[in-house]
Amino acid sequence: EVLDDNDSTIASYGVENKSILQLVNLNVTDRGYFPSMGGKFIDISNNKSIKRADWSETAPPWRKTRRGLCLEGLCRNNQCKAYKHHVVIPIGYKKFDIIIDSSETTTKCPLCKQYVEPITCGFNNCWWKYEGIKQDEDGKPPIRCSSNWQQADNAYHYFDEHTSRIVLWKQLIIEAVKKRPLE
């Protein structure tokens, strides 16, 4: 149904709470690109892809972490030493919305400070969980998914891109805290 009455609310059209709405711009001929409709990121619902790496004394400067949540992406600045390398973007202990909070001030290369598109994440010395809405394939309906609190000890826990794939997230909120919250 087309919602075209500016004086009505979406509830008056019968749209219920927690419904998933899809934006369709009838003036656009290529409907394949809606940046506001989500983002591509590793499938963190795949627990089998979590790997644990001990700390390294020889990590390059663009792979330095901080406790809590760390995002990762490729530096695309060809003037940077980290060019075409996966850089670690320390976020820390907080709740982070991958779709909304990623920006030139929050997700940037630690060396050149240029924007980096986050595509995966890692954790250390924290408790973490996520909630989101993902779409595995074009044409398939989005599904809600979430996790319980999980612990990352004094090592780098990350999602292996070889055992998990990149999916479209309509929403993805990741939270990392220092101490285990009471359920």
Q: What is the mean pLDDT of the chain?
A: 87
Q: Is the pLDDT of residue 75 over 70?
A: yes
Domain boundaries along the sequence of the chain: 38-177
Do residues 109 and 116 make contact, with C-beta atoms less than 8 angstroms apart? yes
Among 14-28, 92-106, 141-155, 160-174, whose mean pLDDT is lowest?
14-28
pLDDT in tens, 90-116: 999 999 999 999 999 999 999 999 999
pLDDT in tens, 13-62: 666 776 666 555 444 444 444 444 789 999 999 988 999 999 999 999 99
Ordered DSSP codes for 100-164: HH-STTTSB-TTT--B----EEEEESEEEEEEEEEESSTTSPPEEEE---EEE-SSEEEE-TTTS
At 138 the pLDDT is 81
Euclidean distance between the first and the last CA atom of the chain, given in angstroms as a whole number: 41
Among 13-17, 107-111, 158-162, 165-169, whose mean pLDDT is lowest?
13-17
Residue 76 DSSP SS3: coil
Do residues 168 and 133 make contact, with C-beta atoms less than 8 angstroms apart? no
What is the pTM assigned to this prediction?
0.78
Token digits of residue 104: 């030139």
